[in-house]
Structure 1
Amino acid sequence: MKPLKDAQLGAFTFFASALPHDVCGSNGLPLTPNSIKILGRFQLLKTITHPRLCQYVDISRGKHERLIVVAEHYERSLSDFQKQGKIVLQIAHEVLEGLEFMNKNGMVHRALSPHNVLMDCKGNIKLAKFGLYHMTDHGADVDFPIGYPSYLAPEVIAQGSFHPSDPSHDEAPLPSGPKTDVWSLGVLLFELCAGRRLLQNIDITERLKFILTLGCMDDIVTVLAEEHGCLDSIKALPENVLELLRKCLTFLPSKRPTPAELLRDPVFSEVSRIYTPYQKPVSLFSSSLRCAHLELPEDISDLCKDDDEDYLSQRAIDEVYHLWCLAGGDLEKELTNKEIIQSKPPICTLPNFVLEDGESFGQGRDRSFLLDDTTVTLSLCQLRNRLKDVAGEAYYPLLEDEQSSLPQSNSSNELSSTVTLPLIIRERDTEYQLIRIILFDRLLKAYPYKKNLVWKEARVDIPPLVRGLAWAALLGIEGDIQAKYESIDKDTPIPTDRQIEVDIPRCHQYDELLSSPQGHIKFRRVLKAWVVSHPDLVYWQGLDSLCAPFLYLNFNNEALAYACMSAFIPKYLYNFFLKDNSHVIQEYLTVFSQMIAFHDPELSNHLNEIGFIPDLYAIPWFLTMFTHVFPLHKIFHLWDTLLLGNSSFPFCIGVAILQQLRDRLLANGFNECILLFSDLPEIDIERCVRESINLFCWTPKSATYRQHAQPPKVAGDNGFGKTATYYSSDYQDIPKTDLSREPLALCDLKAEMSPRISAEDLIDLCELSLAGPTKRTKTGKPKIVAVDIRTGEDFNRGHISGSINIPFNTTFSPEGELVQCPASGVLQNYRGRVIVVISHAMKSAVMVRKQSHTQTPVYTGIFLQATSRFRNDVLLPYVGKRKKRKSSFP
């Protein structure tokens, strides 16, 4: 968005027309409220940026179909132009520039009037309220007409007013075209030249009759001048101005020019030379250079700012409004203070009421439900006072500074302490959010060059205002995504269309934006684009839930929502959307079961005993990455961390959720657990994220290995996979894989309750146990216990330092039963530790794991398959060849 500069934030309100409560649509669902429809259409207006248009910022939906619109605003309007010395042709040219840009985006103003043509401090034209006609569906969703009778074109007046609920109208009139604004501009320019308002002192009926009779006149300009007694003033105008007025005030639309045609007219041949054609800024993801327009001034000192510079005015309008809300701004309160919103006693809102004596009172039409186009200026004093201690350097952070990213200011200590506060508090802290937004804004503008710094700052938190672009950067989106999206056929019917149509009205419809008709249209297009562009995959129920977060954050950029979704699915849900995905799902759920057993064996035992397996509750979790079970505001916080991890991090999220429900699960049986998950209790997402990170950092990478996960990217690939790994490969001379062995068949994997790990991860775990107290038990003993079940002879030839030898042949019977002997009693001394079973024979290791798991439920078994690489004379030398391990998250 454009910078705030000398502009102000203005707000105006109106009511959408109410719908009957007992009427349903053709799909059997209640009708979408008109306010929701308007809210959905409004989103496009936020993308319309032009020097001649006031920038739309936000829309808020209140009670009784009330809508409050926030937009760029200026106090001076068309009536001040004469005082500023503006000539008519310049005014006309600037207004036409704004109208032409609107027309290119499929819009018309239809509400041109003197108080909707504003002027900034330099005298430049700014058209206000230009989106009212668009957002109300050409006036169909409100009870008032769009436009002012004195300035409406004759063809608009001839159509009359229209309301969908009016049975006297069989069909709606055709929407107004660009030429209607040209007539309105002609009336405005005529008033400016005549120095008086037209048709203001006669009755509305007579006024409309007069306009319609102009169709019989050859020279409408002369007739208007004679009618209002200003013929001499009009005749004194330059010929090119008179010619412009005649072309604008052409009665027949077929002969009236459009704004684009009028701009190219010879009457503007001299004026157009002083204007530079507007060039739309290059978006973040495109094939064009974003910095091609940047130039250094001849005097480099011009870049220096004064100490009293208003830094806040240099920020984008949407940023300033977002901070204004955080600083305590309340739209309804501002409008109430200006008496734009007036509350009435409930009895006065009834259609009629009867007193005790039988006297009846009827209520006329409530004028408050009509349009009051008064714009209230939102005061920024409270925001500026809140940010007064923020130093100027904070608005221009140095990205190469390796020190703290928090700027030095009078409140730097306070900002440093804010980082440690809960995320929900940080997101509501005005000063902290200002710093984070500015930092992310600069990093994203330097993307992909600053991709690593985006990752670094995302580990702290992601400001909600820039979350959409930040996610795209974390997913490695690059290139001209718009061209790719437009090349996909989203219109030709396909068999999946029916299922998509059924799923969309049930997907996160509590959200006003996604439940709007525009939201449904965008949902359908993005989902269909994904299905068409991935012919090897199919649409499964749940894909709509996956799409929802990306569409919400990129509502005005379908291409980016599609690109993010297309990058997210192969990373976290690789092959989940195959036509036959049973083997992928079953492997995923089996690994998840092993993760539960690894981190909480007591809970795992209980769930297995009552038969409450992950197949009964976890499929919607992982198929939708938790978007089917959590509302969007929780998904945003969850995915902020998820996107920093690899495909195994969802396992840790699932375990963290179970641990929050642990006490209730342990106390209940199968039926109670089914009921518990049918209506999932409130989950503390921040705690879930925090515990997921802890679980992940203590989970060996190879324990979550899946053969159906996305294959690792080849060396030299600059995509997401190379940057976003939790652990780099710890070895220089062995393959960079999650396991140093062949993967297990699904049937063998299901037969094992605990995960297997590679020798590399075993060495890592042993080193972490010996590194410090953070990975030790309360007694200070290492939490990792390596149990070597080979024969004593093999053990003596070489073993891992600190490992315990419990020979299988002396501790277990041939049937696999645990024999009571001194060696077997050793396991009882390590209750609560992680036990790693090392053996040449995997069958023996499985028996040890089963027995230890049964006899001491708090054990977690991780067993290692022996390979030639890790024989006695090879295992220990690998310790010296390893790289430094990344032990922190991520």
Structure 2
Amino acid sequence: MLKPSGEMRPLKDAQLGAFTFFASALPHDVCGSNGLPLTPNSIKILGRFQILKTVTHPRLCQYVDISRGKHERLIVVAEHFESSLSDFQKQGKKASSEKVLQVAYELLEGLDFMNKHGMVHRALSAHNVLMDCKGNVKLAKFGLYHMTDHGADVDFPIGYPSYLAPEVIAQGSFHPSDSSHDEVPLPSGPKTDVWSLGVLLFELCAGRRLLQNIEISERLKFILTLGCMDDIVTVLAEEHGCLDAIKELPENVLELLRKCLTFLPSKRPTPAELLGDPVFNGVSCLYTPFKKPVSLFSSSLRCAHLELPEDISDLCKDDDEDYLSERAINEVYHLWCLAGGDLEKELTNKGIIQSKPPICTLANFVLEDGESFGQRRDRSFLLDDTTRLRDVAGEAYYPLLEDEQSSLPQSNSSNELSTTVKLPLIIRERDTEYQLIRIVLFDRLLKAYPYKKNLVWKEARVDIPPLVRGLVWAALLGIEGDIQAKYESTDKDTPIPTDRQRWISRCHQYDELLSSPQGHIKFRRVLKAWVVSHPDLVYWQALAYACMSAFIPKYLYNFFLKDNSHVIQEYLTVFSQMIAFHDPELSNHLNEIGFIPDLYAIPWFLTMFTHVFPLHKIFHLWDTLLLGNSSFPFCIGVAILQQLRDRLLANGFNECILLFSDLPEIDIERCVRESINLFCWTPKSATYRQHAQPPKAAGDNGFGKAASYYTSDYQDMPKTDLSRDPLALCDLKAEVSPRISAEDLIDLCELSLSGPVKRTRAGNPKLLHFNRGHISGSINIPFSTAFGPNSELVQCPATGVLQSYRGRVIVIISHAITNAVMFAAHLVKVNFPRVCFLDGGINKLKPTGLLTVPSPII
């Protein structure tokens, strides 16, 4: 069967479980060395948690999500199973030697995989070793020690006294706020888990809890005295009255217990060493070494091991099959949240979250796992079986991907979904069934990337599900190949002079992840990798770097040169021309009061509007931005101004400065919609820039045929005698309206004959000036006839015809470019929209054979 893409496993027979704890509260009157308030410990934990979602192994319970609540409460969502090793203890059963060796080997597999990722468990206990329906081990809470910075960010110890290694107990408890401790204890290493494993295996063999009826202080003393014993296993057996049962164990099991329960860490083996121990010779052959699934962007062949049934119809033959359980765990959780799932409410209903008593002087009783006031051990099933996702037809989980397929999601309730797709985006993103079908569709398209890149583009123009937005953006940017290897080969650690310029602490600090120290580190490393790989420029991980390396050349080419003034000035000049082209009245007003783009638009374009909008709006804006070429940001900028149009027209310079210092609320859906409309009205060559990204290789626009017209830049088109020529910046600044190429002019005229297609809706542009030839259907209006002494438009038959074409694209042609520049400027002055002029003048058209020369009158 085809498995869901990405790192997450399918839900299968697992459940979604949650556990909760409190991070340590920081004093309110203390600031950091930078003078800013200290980052809350819950934010730090949230940042470190993110890496845990990528740690996937058959022996580890998959982490899914973390959320912050009030008073530094954190709720962690992870894969969960009902059965655990504590069930053996409750039943008083002794496990067979085969079961002991199986559990030991599978636990060691999980521990060794964690160690390779720089983590240790430190919280091993019988109830944290879960068992799936096949009886295989699933380690739970393996990331608690990592996410809490080895316990430094919480007020409770990580681990359980009965299972803690002697060296951990000898260190004692520690908290950073405790001034009585001079030194921070060293973090636990892999060998601490081996001791805990030994205790677990001993309990399995003995059929009872170790040191269960002894007070905690006595337990700790007893464990520390074990260092004086020659045979710790025998001493523990005598202490618990199970010596006969232990003696009956096979020698290989006894030898395993002795190796795990070695008092001195220096003599105790690591999980990796134990996995290769001869004691497992009869066990290891039953297991296939774990291979990490091939990710979407890598050099490996993703389809090498895919298997399909002989009859594809078998995929949907069973009407009773639980298709939802075949989806990835994070998908199921995302859909559960959309269906109204609330973590705090669920945990409160189950009694896991309890209100604290109103009497504040009561002693604070903290349980071993960190929850205050009586947290129960129950980790309840969070996904409600009654959700309507269970009723979605099986065909919806296996959509067809033929090119002729409709872009609308298809299911038994297709009429309802066809209605849904017309609703505002924010509503669609909260519709559970709609999101399920969109996620499944994009999942299958991404599996086939880059082969199905055209369909990825097609569907992205409808909308992009938030759950898969990152991967879809990468696909839209044309990311391919082994991005991880390229990222790892870049030096992100050696200090360089520009390190101090990357002020990560300023970037969207209202976002919990970006405000966390780990978020700062990851973001800084991505930027550092980009700066190091572009030494001529100045100012997660592998995928973010790859996307950034594709995004910046496309939209911000040479914006970060050490001397970028000529690039920025050209960009702002073209933007000014776009304002005049689409909204001349607004352009005239802003120019009259001196409110030029240099005063407000530089942060817009340098950050591609992330300086303007909060992240949730940026997501929706960039969903469309990435579908357009490098000129699309101009359209976004004009759309923003048009939303503020009435206020801008009514105010002077000072009021406009104040308006943009605290930008009013912008309707992002309207902004996107109007940006697309503006983009469709703009001739390609009107936004030509000398300093845009150089042309790509012939025939390679990076996006496929279906998307090429919308994503390729004018610079990418083959240059001909009809193309637009470069222009000095000083000359460009002197022009109010944009120039267009003869190619665009011909295209506009063809559209007027055949109907509106592609990008232009107007058709039939009017060309002004008849000297020595003209295009059929154009209008001859000499400047002296059209404008009076005060630059007003004179009323005459010719200008009357011109007025009738107001709103369409007007192209001015002249032998002398200066005349065309002046004529265009005067039309803009009298508020004529969509005015441009032909680059190169009438001479550009002479070789085309399109000019009509009037016959002489005889």
Q: Deviations over 1:644-670 (max 9, x none)?
A: 111110110000000000000000000
C-alpha distance in 2 between matches for 1:407 and 1:21 = 51
C-alpha distance in 2 between matches for 1:338 and 1:126 = 23
- Rate the CA distance shift 1:496–1:311 in 2: closer, same or farther, 3 A: same
For the Cα contact (< 8 Å) 1:436–1:463, is it kept in 2? yes
Task: Measure how far apart 1:168 and its partner are.
Answer: 0.4
For the Cα contact (< 8 Å) 2:694–2:716, is it kept in 1? no
Task: Measure how far apart 1:458 and its partner are.
Answer: 0.6
Q: Deviations over 1:831-885 (max 9, x none)?
A: 55543212122122223xxxxxxxxxxxxxxxxxxxxxxxxxxxxxxxxxxxxxx
Q: Secondary structure in 2 aligned to 1:59?
A: strand
What is the number of residues matched between the two proteins?
810
Task: Measure how far apart 1:80 and its partner are.
Answer: 3.8
Task: Measure how far apart 1:491 and its partner are.
Answer: 1.5
1:1-40 matches, within 5 Å, as 1-40=8-47
Q: Secondary structure in 2 aligned to 1:563?
A: helix
Name the stretch that deviates more: 351-360 or 66-75: 351-360
C-alpha distance in 1 between matches for 2:474 and 2:731 = 39
Task: Measure how far apart 1:730 and its partner are.
Answer: 13
- Rate the CA distance shift 1:329–1:370 in 2: closer, same or farther, 3 A: closer
- Rate the CA distance shift 1:434–1:575 in 2: closer, same or farther, 3 A: same
For the Cα contact (< 8 Å) 2:610–2:618, is it kept in 1? yes
C-alpha distance in 2 between matches for 1:140 and 1:472 = 37
Q: Secondary structure in 1 aligned to 2:78?
A: strand
Q: Deviations over 1:543-567 (max 9, x none)?
A: xxxxxxxxxxxxxxxx111110010
Task: Measure how far apart 1:681 and its partner are.
Answer: 0.4
Q: Deviations over 1:442-467 (max 9, x none)?
A: 11111111111111111111110111
Q: Secondary structure in 1 aligned to 2:365?
A: strand
- Rate the CA distance shift 1:6–1:366 in 2: closer, same or farther, 3 A: closer
Name the stretch that deviates more: 488-497 or 832-841: 832-841
- Aligned position for 1:401: 403
C-alpha distance in 2 between matches for 1:81 and 1:145 = 26
Q: Deviations over 1:672-694 (max 9, x none)?
A: 00000000000011100000000
- Aligned position for 2:789: 814
Task: Measure how far apart 1:356 and its partner are.
Answer: 38
C-alpha distance in 1 between matches for 2:552 and 2:139 = 43
C-alpha distance in 2 between matches for 1:507 and 1:687 = 25
For the Cα contact (< 8 Å) 1:776–1:782, is it kept in 2? no
Q: Deviations over 1:304-345 (max 9, x none)?
A: 652211100000000000000000000000011012212247
Name the stretch that deviates more: 113-122 or 831-840: 831-840
C-alpha distance in 2 between matches for 1:358 and 1:10 = 17
TM-score, L = length of structure 1:
0.83
C-alpha distance in 2 between matches for 1:281 and 1:422 = 37
C-alpha distance in 2 between matches for 1:404 and 1:40 = 40
For the Cα contact (< 8 Å) 2:316–2:395, is it kept in 1? no
For the Cα contact (< 8 Å) 1:352–1:360, is it kept in 2? yes
Structure 1: where are the runs of 5+ without partners? 376-385, 542-558, 784-794, 848-885
- Rate the CA distance shift 1:622–1:737 in 2: closer, same or farther, 3 A: farther
Task: Measure how far apart 1:773 and its partner are.
Answer: 9.3
For the Cα contact (< 8 Å) 1:739–1:757, is it kept in 2? no
C-alpha distance in 2 between matches for 1:222 and 1:624 = 67
Name the stretch that deviates more: 32-41 or 747-756: 747-756
Task: Measure how far apart 1:409 and its partner are.
Answer: 3.2
Q: Deviations over 1:35-59 (max 9, x none)?
A: 0000001111101111111000000
Structure 2: where are the runs of 5+ without partners? 1-7, 93-97, 823-828, 834-858
Task: Measure how far apart 1:191 and its partner are.
Answer: 1.0
Q: Secondary structure in 2 aligned to 1:820?
A: coil
For the Cα contact (< 8 Å) 1:509–1:515, is it kept in 2? yes
Q: Secondary structure in 2 aligned to 1:58?
A: strand
Name the stretch that deviates more: 712-721 or 65-74: 712-721
Task: Measure how far apart 1:404 and its partner are.
Answer: 2.2
C-alpha distance in 2 between matches for 1:266 and 1:356 = 36
C-alpha distance in 1 between matches for 2:540 and 2:795 = 53
Task: Measure how far apart 1:822 and its partner are.
Answer: 6.0
For the Cα contact (< 8 Å) 1:14–1:369, is it kept in 2? no
Task: Measure how far apart 1:195 and its partner are.
Answer: 1.2
Name the stretch that deviates more: 530-539 or 156-165: 530-539
Task: Measure how far apart 1:493 and its partner are.
Answer: 1.2
Q: Deviations over 1:56-88 (max 9, x none)?
A: 000000110000000000111113459999621
Name the stretch that deviates more: 750-759 or 433-442: 750-759
Q: Deviations over 1:485-544 (max 9, x none)?
A: 111111111111122xxxx11111111101111111112111111111001212299xxx
For the Cα contact (< 8 Å) 2:21–2:370, is it kept in 1? no
Q: Secondary structure in 2 aligned to 1:13?
A: strand
For the Cα contact (< 8 Å) 2:584–2:831, is it kept in 1? no
Does 2:722 match 1:751? no
Name the stretch that deviates more: 823-832 or 505-514: 823-832
For the Cα contact (< 8 Å) 1:693–1:889, is it kept in 2? no
C-alpha distance in 2 between matches for 1:598 and 1:733 = 23
- Rate the CA distance shift 1:834–1:368 in 2: closer, same or farther, 3 A: closer
C-alpha distance in 2 between matches for 1:343 and 1:675 = 46
For the Cα contact (< 8 Å) 1:14–1:372, is it kept in 2? no
For the Cα contact (< 8 Å) 1:14–1:371, is it kept in 2? no
For the Cα contact (< 8 Å) 1:2–1:316, is it kept in 2? yes
Q: Secondary structure in 1 aligned to 2:576?
A: helix
For the Cα contact (< 8 Å) 2:49–2:147, is it kept in 1? yes
For the Cα contact (< 8 Å) 2:696–2:716, is it kept in 1? no
- Which of 81, 88, 93 pairs up with 2:88? 81
Q: Secondary structure in 2 aligned to 1:199?
A: coil
- Rate the CA distance shift 1:364–1:817 in 2: closer, same or farther, 3 A: closer
Name the stretch that deviates more: 530-539 or 363-372: 363-372
Task: Measure how far apart 1:703 and its partner are.
Answer: 1.1
- Rate the CA distance shift 1:352–1:84 in 2: closer, same or farther, 3 A: closer
- Which of 567, 578, 582 pairs up with 2:565? 582
- Which of 583, 586, 606 pairs up with 2:589? 606
- Rate the CA distance shift 1:221–1:358 in 2: closer, same or farther, 3 A: closer
For the Cα contact (< 8 Å) 2:608–2:633, is it kept in 1? yes
- Aligned position for 2:845: none
C-alpha distance in 2 between matches for 1:357 and 1:282 = 36
Task: Measure how far apart 1:764 and its partner are.
Answer: 3.3
Task: Measure how far apart 1:350 and its partner are.
Answer: 9.5
- Give identity over the alignment, percent: 92
C-alpha distance in 1 between matches for 2:423 and 2:382 = 46
C-alpha distance in 2 between matches for 1:249 and 1:41 = 31
C-alpha distance in 1 between matches for 2:731 and 2:662 = 34
For the Cα contact (< 8 Å) 2:156–2:369, is it kept in 1? no
- Rate the CA distance shift 1:737–1:20 in 2: closer, same or farther, 3 A: farther
Task: Measure how far apart 1:763 and its partner are.
Answer: 3.5
- Rate the CA distance shift 1:400–1:157 in 2: closer, same or farther, 3 A: same
Name the stretch that deviates more: 696-705 or 714-723: 714-723
Task: Measure how far apart 1:162 and its partner are.
Answer: 0.4
- Rate the CA distance shift 1:812–1:394 in 2: closer, same or farther, 3 A: closer
- Rate the CA distance shift 1:77–1:211 in 2: closer, same or farther, 3 A: same
Q: Deviations over 1:729-775 (max 9, x none)?
A: 99999945796232221111111111112233233334545666999
- Rate the CA distance shift 1:175–1:761 in 2: closer, same or farther, 3 A: same
Task: Measure how far apart 1:145 and its partner are.
Answer: 0.5
Superposed CA RMSD in Å reads 5.7
1:635-784 matches, within 5 Å, as 635-717=618-700, 719-720=702-703, 724-726=707-709, 735-736=718-719, 740-769=723-752
Q: Secondary structure in 2 aligned to 1:590?
A: helix
Task: Measure how far apart 1:809 and its partner are.
Answer: 6.9
Q: Secondary structure in 2 aligned to 1:765?
A: helix
- Aligned position for 1:424: 426
Task: Measure how far apart 1:719 and its partner are.
Answer: 2.7
- Aligned position for 2:393: 391
C-alpha distance in 2 between matches for 1:357 and 1:7 = 22
Q: Secondary structure in 2 aligned to 1:72?
A: strand
- Rate the CA distance shift 1:845–1:799 in 2: closer, same or farther, 3 A: same
Task: Measure how far apart 1:829 and its partner are.
Answer: 5.3
Q: Deviations over 1:199-234 (max 9, x none)?
A: 111121111111111111101111111111111111
Name the stretch that deviates more: 767-776 or 688-697: 767-776
For the Cα contact (< 8 Å) 2:751–2:763, is it kept in 1? no
